[in-house]
Structure 1
Amino acid sequence: MQAVVLAAGKGTRLRPLTEDKPKALVEVDGKPLVEDVFDNLREIGVTEFVVVVGYQKERIIERYGDEYEGVPITYAHQREQLGLAHAILQAEPHVDHDFVLMLGDNIFRGNLGDVINRQREERADAAFLVEEVPYEEASRYGVCDTNEYGEIVEVVEKPDDPPSNLVMTGFYTFTPAIFHACHLVQPSDRGEYELPDAIDLLVQSGRTIDAIRMDGWRIDVGYPADREKAEERLREAAPPVTER
């Protein structure tokens, strides 16, 4: 299976950590964010990475070259930061079947493999890893509404009045139908092509999208404080060192 990894961001909210590097190379507990993503994807059986790069892309390309731990890498270039749906379209020429999409700035520890298995078993058009957050925080995310079967029936980007407290986490599986939906998306009020808008088009066209609840944890590393929180969680989860 191929995985598209979105790693084109500047990480302006992470400054000063991103003053001399792209967001994807910010280290958390000694490992770059994108490298943690690569390791997670390798563990669930991904056999090819398509990495969307943009800001200081040469730093990422020089570091990883054309493979990571034996997994080949193809680079797609997002020359302007115009939203996640726009970023996904840059990978379209390199993807020819179902694929995983993972944001390059999240630290995940959990049931990522369940998302792939659900799409394969149910023959869904997409499957997303979702998590519950406090209602007062839901408006910061892409919010999902589901039916009695656990299928997503609506996705709203950062709504003032969230329909639920179930939010997208940044890990998805898609069929190539998502590319057609991304082509149809119109710019949002902030001038970006939003992924939730593309997903909503899939839903409206009758596509089946399954929501898989997270069993574990994840941290979106958007600010320096998030990096500190992620490092604490990783150290708590690390096996104890035994003395010889």
Structure 2
Amino acid sequence: MQAVVLAAGKGTRLRPLTETKPKGLVEVNGKPILTHCFEQLTDLGAEELLVVIGYRGDDVVEHYGDSFGDVPITYARQEEQLGLAHALNTVEPHVTDDFMLMLGDNIFRANVEDVVRRQRESRVDAAFLVEEVPESEASRYGVCNTNDYGKIVEVVEKPDDPPSNLVMTGFYTFSPAIFHATRLVQPSSRGEYELSDAIDLLIRSGRTIDAVELDGWRIDVGYPEDRAEAERRLQQRAEQTTSRV
């Protein structure tokens, strides 16, 4: 599969770290966040990285060039940061088949390979990792509403009154059908074209959608304290690996 990485945001909540560099180049445990993303995606077999850049995007291009190891990188620019669905639309001309999508401010040590396997084996139109978070945090994410059988029937972006505490994480797989939905999305109350709204359109149109429960951990590096927690967990993991050798 190709792999899309969305890395156009300004990272205002990470200031002052993002005043002189894009969010994706902020280091976590000695590596830029984007390097953590690229390593995981190439381990999953990504044949091409499609990277959406915006704020200080030239810094990203200068840092990585046209490849990451042996995997080519194609860049697309989101001139205005108008939401994740809007960002995804910028890579549509480059996508040839089913693809992975990772938000470029997330660090995963989780079962992302299960999502890829579900896409390849079941040929669904979308699959994504979900996790339960404290109810007080659910409004930060795209929240999944489920029926009595546990099936996801609706996805709502950052609701004031979340219908559940089951949320989407930052890793997805899609068929090209997602682009039909992203083109239909209307601006939300935040003035953005939301990816969760596009996924909700897929659900309502009867497309095949699978959710995979997260096994492991992931951190959305949105605030300095998130960066510190990600570093703590990565260092802890490295120590555990060393102790087993």
Report the TM-score, using the length of structure 2 for normalisation.
0.95
In structure 2, stretches of 5+ residues that fail to align are none
In structure 2, what is the equivalent of residue 109 of structure 1?
Answer: 109
Cα distance between partner residues in 1 of 2:53 and 2:23: 10
The one-letter code sitting in structure 1 at the alignment partner of 2:57 is K
Relative to structure 1, is the Cα distance of residues 100 and 240 closer, same or farther in structure 2, using a 3 angstrom cutoff?
closer
Instruction: Provide, for residues 164-210 of structure 1, a one-character-per-residue CA deviation record: whole Å limited to 9, x for no partner.
Output: 21100010000111111011111111111011111111111101110
Cα distance between partner residues in 2 of 1:42 and 1:146: 33
In structure 2, what is the equivalent of residue 7 of structure 1?
Answer: 7
In structure 2, what is the equivalent of residue 173 of structure 1?
Answer: 173
In structure 1, what is the equivalent of residue 51 of structure 2?
Answer: 51
Cα distance between partner residues in 2 of 1:193 and 1:159: 15
Shift of 1:122: 2.0
Q: Secondary structure at the match of 2:188?
A: coil
In structure 1, stretches of 5+ residues that fail to align are none
CA contact (8 A) 1:187 1:193 kept: yes
In structure 1, what is the equivalent of residue 36 of structure 2?
Answer: 36
In structure 2, what is the equivalent of residue 121 of structure 1?
Answer: 121
The one-letter code sitting in structure 2 at the alignment partner of 1:15 is R
RMSD: 1.6
In structure 2, what is the equivalent of residue 226 of structure 1?
Answer: 226
The one-letter code sitting in structure 1 at the alignment partner of 2:188 is S
Sequence identity of aligned pairs in percent? 71
> Which segment is superposed worse, 232-241 or 120-129?
232-241
Q: Secondary structure at the match of 1:82?
A: coil
Cα distance between partner residues in 2 of 1:187 and 1:9: 17
In structure 1, what is the equivalent of residue 154 of structure 2?
Answer: 154
Shift of 1:151: 4.3
Q: Secondary structure at the match of 1:21?
A: coil
Report the TM-score, using the length of structure 1 for normalisation.
0.95
Cα distance between partner residues in 2 of 1:242 and 1:197: 43
In structure 2, what is the equivalent of residue 203 of structure 1?
Answer: 203
Relative to structure 1, is the Cα distance of residues 241 and 94 closer, same or farther in structure 2, using a 3 angstrom cutoff?
closer
Cα distance between partner residues in 1 of 2:155 and 2:227: 28
In structure 2, what is the equivalent of residue 63 of structure 1?
Answer: 63
Cα distance between partner residues in 2 of 1:112 and 1:241: 20
Instruction: State the aligned residue count.
Output: 243
Question: Runs of at least 4 residues of structure 1 off by over 4 A?
Answer: 147-151, 240-243
Q: Secondary structure at the match of 2:225?
A: helix
The one-letter code sitting in structure 1 at the alignment partner of 2:159 is P
